[in-house]
Amino acid sequence: MVGTSPAQGSVLRTPGMLTAMAMAAAAFGGFALLLPVVPLVVSRAGGSDAVAGAVTATLMAATVLTQLVTARLLRRFGHRTVLAAGCVLLGLPSLALIWVATSAPAVLAVSAVRGVGFGLLTVASAALVAELVPAERLGRASGLQGIAIAATQMLGLPAGLALLDRFSVVPAILAGAAVPVLALAAIVRLPSLARPTAHSRHGAGLPWAAIAVPWAAVAAAALAYGAVASLLPIAVADAAAPAGLLLAAVSAAMLAGRYSAGVLSDRTGPGRVVWPALGVTAAGLLAFAVGVVVDAGAGQTSALILGAVAFGLGFGAVQNDSLVMIFTAAGPGRTGPASAAWNIGFDAGTGVGSLTLGVVAAVAGYPWLFVVAAVIVPVLPFAVLTVGGSRRAHR
């Protein structure tokens, strides 16, 4: 990997690190602008909760399918080309939503194209950081990039909703289309990196037994995040707490959770944070369930705000620790496949969560949506851990 040794200064002085953070901020900021906006527009046009959830699910499905081949694309074209293609595909097709925002099939088609761009970005950006910094600083570096992403999400999620509510869908879509394209200015300044070698082809050699638990952890937490990002604005439409404020609180707490987990990971080794973080994530979801019932009826916001902070802290910590666990287990030379594995877990979870939990909301109501998510978050990785332990004991 390219980067400084521990004696050569902070992670931020690693060549290319600040540029990588600026690129991620713009690219993921544009994604955040439209993440809650598009499902809400579909809902206001008469679409059901299940259809609104399907918007994010379609985007994430295309994202995951793209992630399956992104490591191969990185090997062939390099980081800068793949990142640039991702920014363009995520941003420019969003302009079509100005004319088709009330047509569910058309929105789903645009979401699929944007998902291709997002899939390229997610894998290439995480792999880029793992190539820039030495392994002993990967936790902090991943946390810093997480700060860049969470900070723009903290601004982008409520900004998109504010543009939609104060003006119309057009300014929100224009912003969501333009911001990812701005990342191209940072991409051209990234240092040249050696392309992944044939050693990493198709994810060969990834120790799937070792990465199964962190993969399940990020997938379960992301499943809940898909519901929170896509359906929370609809769930709290009658509550005193504005949806934009709650989503901003989630993103701010994610920022703190990711970096704190990164510092702990570098000091104590990966894997020490993920289980407590899953518990905090589940507690936040239960607070959302209480808040949707109590706060909406009484005009109070305490449970919803508490839920946003707890969920964001836990989810941010799960993201960072699981990512470092997977990179560490994969070892050098496999950053592309390792990044793809983590991102597939994250984005598949997000898409499945927005769709399946949207169905739960339609059938049983929003409180049960968050209760079900709170159960899944710790149970899924624990089940994977238990099955893995049983197989090892049998052998």
| Each residue's pLDDT tens digit, 133-188 | 887 788 888 888 888 887 887 788 788 888 888 888 889 989 999 999 999 999 98
What is the overall mean pLDDT for the chain? 83
- Cβ atoms of 307 and 287 within 8 Å: the answer is yes
Whether 365 is in a domain gets the answer yes
Whether 4 is in a domain gets the answer no
- Residue 166 corresponds to which tokens in the numbers above? 């104060």
- Cβ atoms of 295 and 304 within 8 Å: the answer is yes
Whether 197 is in a domain gets the answer no
Radius of gyration for the alpha carbons in the chain, expressed in angstroms and rounded? 20
- Cβ atoms of 3 and 132 within 8 Å: the answer is yes
Residue 241 has pLDDT above 80, yes or no: no
Q: Which residue has the higher pLDDT, 284 or 38?
A: 284
Whether 380 is in a domain gets the answer yes
Residue 196 has pLDDT above 60, yes or no: no
The pLDDT, as a whole number, for residue 387 is 81
The pLDDT, as a whole number, for residue 238 is 64
Residue 200 has pLDDT above 50, yes or no: no
Least confident interval from 46-50, 99-103, 158-162, 290-294: 46-50
Whether 259 is in a domain gets the answer yes
- The full 3-state SS of the chain, as one line of letters, equals CCCCCHHHCCHHHCCCHHHHHHHHHHHHHHHHHHCCHHHHHHHHCCCCHHHHHHHHHHHHHHHHHHHHHHHHHHHHHCHHHHHHHHHHHHHHHHHHHHHHCCCHHHHHHHHHHHHHHHHHHHHHHHHHHHHHCCHHHHHHHHHHHHHHHHHHHHHHHHHHHHHHHHCCHHHHHHHHHHHHHHCHHHHCCCCCCCCCCHHHHHHCCCCHHHHHHHHHHHHHHHHHHHHHHHHHHHHCCCCCCCHHHHHHHHHHHHHHHHHHHHHHHHHHCCCCCHHHHHHHHHHHHHHHHHHHHHHHHHCCCHHHHHHHHHHHHHHHHHHHHHHHHHHHHHCCCCHHHHHHHHHHHHHHHHHHHHHHHHHHHHHHCHHHHHHHHHHHHHHHHHHHHHHHHHHHHHC
The pLDDT of 242-270, averaged and rounded, is: 84
- Four-CA torsion 322, 218, 264, 129, nearest 10 degrees: 60
Using alpha carbons, select from 376, 296, 351 the residue that is nearest to residue 122. Answer: 351
Q: How far apart are CA 154 and CA 161, in angstroms?
A: 12
pLDDT-based confidence at 194, cuts 50/70/90? low
The pLDDT of 30-54, averaged and rounded, is: 80
The pLDDT of 112-133, averaged and rounded, is: 89
Q: How far apart are CA 66 and CA 46, in angstroms?
A: 31
Residue 56 has pLDDT above 80, yes or no: no
Q: CB under 8 Å to 140, separation ≥6 — which residues?
A: 11, 259, 262, 263, 266
Q: How far apart are CA 31 and CA 59, in angstroms?
A: 11
Whether 199 is in a domain gets the answer no
Q: How far apart are CA 186 and CA 121, in angstroms?
A: 13
The pLDDT, as a whole number, for residue 95 is 92
Q: How many domains is the chain built from?
A: 1
The pLDDT, as a whole number, for residue 378 is 94
Using alpha carbons, select from 347, 343, 310, 312 the residue that is nearest to residue 327. Answer: 343
Residue 251 has pLDDT above 90, yes or no: no
Q: Which domain holds residue 339?
A: 13-192+204-394
The pLDDT, as a whole number, for residue 5 is 40
Percent of the chain past pLDDT 90, that is, above it, reads: 29
The pLDDT, as a whole number, for residue 332 is 73
pLDDT-based confidence at 355, cuts 50/70/90? confident
Residues 308-346: tens digit of each pLDDT:
999 999 999 999 999 989 988 887 777 778 888 888 888
Residue 299 has pLDDT above 70, yes or no: no
Least confident interval from 110-114, 304-308, 347-351: 347-351
Residue 195 has pLDDT above 80, yes or no: no
Using alpha carbons, select from 195, 302, 180 the residue that is nearest to residue 240. Answer: 302
The pLDDT, as a whole number, for residue 157 is 78
Whether 8 is in a domain gets the answer no
- CATH number for the domain that contains residue 138: 1.20.1250.20
Least confident interval from 66-75, 160-169, 231-240, 318-327: 231-240
The pLDDT, as a whole number, for residue 115 is 93
The pLDDT of 341-355, averaged and rounded, is: 84
Residue 203 has pLDDT above 70, yes or no: no
Whether 234 is in a domain gets the answer yes
The pLDDT of 200-204, averaged and rounded, is: 45
